[in-house]
Amino acid sequence: MQLFIDSADVAELRAAAASGLIDGVTTNPSLIAKSGRNMKEAIAEICSIIPGPVSAEAVATDVEGMLNEGRYLARIASNVVVKLPLTENGLRACRTLSDEGIKVNVTLCFSAVQAMLAAKAGAYFISPFIGRLDDKGEDGMELIHDIRQVYDNYGFGTNVLAASIRTPEHVKQCALAGADCATLPPKIFAQLYKHELTDSGVAAFLKDWASTGQSIL
C-alpha cells in the first residue's frame, strides 16, 4: 500500500521524504491556509520534494471554474493531481479533465455509490474519509471494503486513497481491506514505527552488548 502525507508544511514533508517511505502528498485549501504560503509556490516546492503524486485542490464550485483551476494547477508540475469534490459539478469536471489526460483525485467521498460514480467519471484517485464517518458513529472502514468490492467487481482502475486517517490501526485496517493508498498526518506516520516491544528489545540488546565491552568498529 502506498503511503502519502497529508500536509502542506514543507519542513514536515522534507522530514517524511527522508525516510524513503513516502509515495505522495495530499493537500487541501485548509492545509495551504495553515502553511501561510502562496498556493502555487507551495505546490511547486512540494512537487520538487516528493516525486510521486501531489494532490492540489480546486476551490471553484462551478464546472467551468473547476476546469480553469484544474488546468492551471496541472501546469504547476507534472506530478500534480487535481483534487475535486464529489459533487455533480465535480464529477462533470473530472470527466473532462480526465479525458484531457489530467489525473483527478475525487475527494470527500462517503458512500460506495459515490465512489462508483467517481470511477465512471474517470477519477484516478477516490478519497473516502474514514475518520469523519467514525465521528458520526458509522464504520468508516466498512466503506473501504465496499469500494474495493465494487471496483473489483467491475474492473474500475480508480485507486482507493483512504483519507481522514486518525490512528495506526486505521492504516492497518486499510491495508487489510485492500486500499491502494492511505494519506496520513505526519504525526500518524511517525507512530507507524512505534511498538513498545521494539523499544524494549532494542534497550535489552544494547544493555547486553555494553556488558561485553566490545566495539563493532
What amino acid is encoded at 6 in this protein? D
Q: How far apart are CA 95 and CA 99, in angstroms?
A: 6
Look up 83 and say whether it is catalytic.
Answer: yes
SS3 12: helix
C-alpha cell at 41: 509556490
**C-alpha dihedral sign at 129, 142, 158, 15:** positive
Q: Which residues pair with 109 in a beta bridge?
A: 128
From residue 43, alpha-carbon distances to 14, 38, 79, 85, 167 in Å are 13, 9, 10, 19, 26
The answer to whether residues 12 and 5 touch, using CB atoms and an 8 Å cutoff, is yes
Active-site residue identified among 40, 83, 120, 194: 83
The answer to whether residues 118 and 160 touch, using CB atoms and an 8 Å cutoff, is no
Polymer length in residues for the chain: 217
Indicate which residues carry an active-site annotation: 83
